[in-house]
Amino acid sequence: MTVPSGEPALFLERIEVGAGRLSCVVRLAPDAPRFTTPKLAARLREAFPDLPRHACVNEVGPCFGDVMDRTPLPHALEHLVIDLQTRAAPHDAAVYAGTTDWVDEAAGTARVQVSFTDDLAALRAFRDATRFLSDCVVGLRDIPTEEEGVQDDVRPSHIRQNGR
Ligand SMILES: [Zn+2]
């Protein structure tokens, strides 16, 4: 099964603005991958060079780069949102933090929460990050691959994170 070009691989289903924190439910397309691949991670790294250095609570190491080759897609979204917010306010000393939890992994829904200082900038970051990640996933689907799909036994047992 493939995601047809033009169909988003993931989209924001619900957004709630709380005190200093934006909470989004993101839904992956039924046949979209649940996890990043090394190829997808390389694409993300290219566009967001700071991404691997984000502080990140995970089971492998202290940085997002330690897990970004194989991490839930919504977790990658969380770090993209944080990166975009940081870029939008380069002189802001704010440190953004986030968490990602599957709501229903089989159904492809997850809750991504990220702190913010400017609600409009945060909403824009969520929208842009979702579109970018979706385009990456769909774009890679259009390229025939030979080595992907061999690591399906590697599944993080939980995905609670604190981004930078
Ligand atoms: Zn993280």
Q: Indicate if the alpha-carbon torsion angle 55, 58, 62, 64 is positive or negative.
A: negative
In the numeric block, the tokens 């200082």 are attached to 117
Give the distance (Å) from ligand 1 centre to CA of residue 139.
24
Q: Is residue 3 assigned to a domain?
A: no
Asked whether residue 153 carries a pLDDT value surpassing 50, the answer given is no
Question: What would you report as the CA-atom Rg of the chain, rounded to the nearest whole angstrom?
Answer: 15
Give the percent of the chain with pLDDT over 70.
80
Contact status, residue 47 vs residue 132, Cβ threshold 8 Å: yes
The structural domain count of the chain equals: 1
The answer as to whether 60 is a domain residue is yes
- Ligand 1 centroid from CA 73, angstroms: 11
Query: Does some domain include residue 152?
Result: no
82-129 pLDDT tens trace: 999 998 876 766 789 999 999 999 999 999 999 998 999 999 999 999
Query: Around ion ligand 1, which residues have CB less than 5 A away?
Result: 56, 161, 163
Whether residue 129 lies inside any domain: the answer is yes
pLDDT of 88: 86
Q: Express each pLDDT in 41-66 by its tens digit.
A: 999 999 999 999 999 999 999 999 99
pLDDT of residue 64: 97
Domain interval for residue 113: 10-141
For residue 161, the CA-to-ligand 1 centroid distance in Å is 5
Q: 164: pLDDT confidence band, cut at 50, 70 and 90?
A: very low
pLDDT at 157: 45
User: 111: which strand partners?
Assistant: 25, 101
Our CA dihedral for 35, 144, 44, 65, rounded to 10 degrees, sits at: 50
* Domain of residue 58, CATH code: 3.30.1360
DSSP secondary structure of 39-97: HHHHHHHHH-TTGGGSB---SS-SBGGGTTTSSBHHHHHHHHHHHHHHHH-TT------
Q: Cα separation of 163 and 8, whole Å?
A: 25
